[in-house]
Amino acid sequence: MILYEYPFNERIRTYLRLEHLLHRLSSLLAHTAALDHHFALVTLFEIMDMAGRIDIKTDVLKDLENHKAYLSAQRGNPAIAQEALEAFAGYVENAFSALKRQHGKPCSQLTEDDWLMSVRSRIFIPGGTCSFDLPAYHAWQEGHADARLADLSRWTSHLQPLANALALLLHMLRDSGTPQMAQAQQGQFQHALPQGRQVQLIRLSLPKKMNVVPKISGNRLLISIQFMQQLAGNKSAPVADDVAFELALCS
């Protein structure tokens, strides 16, 4: 199965983009080649750019605070296993406290590292990190992999409170949706969203072998999906057949 996700507001879009970058960074740090570590730095700088442009920390803390209030209100509810509730409330409290203790924006401490900032100033220039442009960076890449990994681990440790909080928030959001089978008649599907429920994320799954791609659009009242068939030469065309897929609405 291949999974597609469609966010309904800018905050969730930002969360998903940061999650995407954090996953990429984690994958690159699992390798030892200098090229992988170069692109790990590229990814770290992308995360720094996102965190610097928006107040992501405030949004995440606000969402965690809302979850804390909701979980607190469920204490004593006989329909909820209280032991599990307390354990999950502990996860939320730990994520909230760790992020709140971090001073300033995530990665703001890294801007005080002159060497790192000299690399950042040239890394997005095509060919800007050649050995004659940044000899110190060239020496770092030619050094031992363990030394590079130690530096990268130190730099990325500043992201851990944010990464943990984002993972928890997105887990709770995704877990709120119950997957159900749906069918697009002649490749098209529309669904009225339930009133009184603020859907924030759509999750759509379908078999990879179908070789179709969904084009998803929506608002607070309606979602619309058009399935496209992948053709030769990277071209696409609307699907004429019915398409069965799995859909979850997360709020």
* Model confidence band, residue 16 (pLDDT cutoffs 50, 70, 90): very high
Chain position carrying tokens 């607190």: 72
Q: Identify each DSSP E strand in the chain by its residue range.
A: 2-7, 180-184, 188-192, 201-206, 212-218, 222-230, 236-238, 243-250
| Tens digits of residue pLDDT in 53-69 | 778 999 999 999 999 99
The predicted pLDDT at position 236 comes to 86
Average pLDDT of every residue of the chain: 92
CA proximity to 166, closest of 70, 246, 67, 72 = 67
Q: Which residues make beta-bridge pairs with 203? A: 5, 248
| Tens digits of residue pLDDT in 184-197 | 999 999 999 888 77
pLDDT at 232 over 90: no
pLDDT at 22 over 80: yes
Rounded-to-integer distance, Cα 174 and Cα 15, Å: 12
CA proximity to 246, closest of 194, 220, 207, 191 = 207
Higher pLDDT, 233 or 137: 137
